């Protein structure tokens, strides 16, 4: 199912358990029930519409603090259609986006999706899939064998001495490095000459009426 953002409105999306979700209400067509429990034990229910494959021109990236921590917000537009997607900067979603972002051609449309699943063999996979012109956008800082372009890393010898506090400091260093690189990105001004009027922002809704459960309030197929 493909939906279009109504003229003058903005589609607000956040990430929950490997889904891009739009806040909704019970009884709304396509809305799915999600039961959650926060870290302090508070339980509740939300109704959300699940989306995938958000496509559009990246217009801005903003960083904002909230009571839940810092968030990165990506704003997209095509013609009159607008959407924004946000996720915590402490999340694997932000880290994965930031690692791939330098390989984007920001003058072109971007197709973005998120994932969080555990394969039959191997560790859990969580991140962001980016595509342009039908091609997968790869990690700018990793070539499959070694780190690149100044990305912080830990040697095998250092790993032997690392405790939990050392790893916390390392991951904070990585987040600050990636955030700085994202903030330095030069995003072209969105003009009628760069928009694709034949391809409005699209969000393919995930049809799932069974409901989803999550142990965290928000955020806890690689292509």
Task: List, for residues 48-104, the tens digit of each pLDDT value.
Answer: 999 988 999 999 999 999 888 999 999 999 888 899 999 999 999 999 999 999 999
Task: Give the model's pLDDT for residue 222.
Answer: 40
Higher pLDDT: 48 or 209? It is: 48
**SS3 per-residue string spanning the chain:** CEEECCCCCEEEEEEECCEEEEECCCCCCCCEEEEEECCCCCEEEEEEEEEEEEEEEEEEEEEEEECCEEEEEEEEEECCEEEEEEEECCCHHHHHHHHHHHHCCCCCCEEEEEEEECCCCCCCEEEEEEEECCEECCCCCECCCCECCCCCCCCHHHHHHCCHHHHHHHHHHHHHHHHHHHHCCCCCCCCCCCCCCCCCCEEEECCCCCCEEECCCCCCCCC
Over residues 128-146, mean pLDDT? 97
Q: Where are the domains of the chain?
A: 2-35+47-201
Over residues 165-172, mean pLDDT? 97
pTM summary value: 0.84
Whether the CA torsion 176, 148, 87, 74 is positive or negative: it is: positive
Higher pLDDT: 216 or 205? It is: 205
Q: What is the mean pLDDT of the chain?
A: 86
Confidence at 204, pLDDT banded by 50, 70, 90 = low
């Amino acid at each position: 199912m493909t939906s279009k953002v109504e003229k003058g409105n903005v589609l607000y999306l956040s990430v929950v358990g490997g889904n891009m979700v739009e806040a909704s209400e019970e009884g709304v067509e396509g809305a799915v029930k999600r039961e959650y429990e926060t870290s302090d034990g508070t339980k509740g229910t939300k109704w959300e519409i699940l989306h995938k494959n958000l496509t559009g021109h990246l217009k801005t990236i903003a960083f904002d603090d909230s009571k839940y921590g810092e968030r990165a917000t990506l704003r997209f537009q095509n013609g009159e259609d607008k959407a924004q997607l946000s996720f915590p900067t402490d999340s694997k979603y932000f880290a994965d986006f930031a690692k791939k972002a330098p390989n984007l051609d920001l003058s072109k449309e971007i197709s973005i999706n998120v994932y969080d699943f555990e394969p039959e063999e191997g560790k859990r996979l969580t991140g962001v899939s980016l595509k342009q012109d039908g091609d997968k956008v790869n990690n700018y800082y990793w070539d499959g064998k070694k780190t690149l372009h100044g990305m912080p890393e830990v040697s095998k010898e250092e790993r032997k001495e690392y405790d939990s506090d050392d790893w916390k400091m390392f991951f904070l260093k990585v987040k600050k490095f990636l955030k700085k690189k994202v903030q330095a990105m030069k995003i072209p001004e969105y003009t009628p000459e760069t928009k694709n009027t034949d391809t409005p922002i699209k969000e393919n809704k995930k049809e799932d009426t069974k409901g989803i459960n999550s142990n965290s309030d928000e955020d806890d197929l690689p292509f």
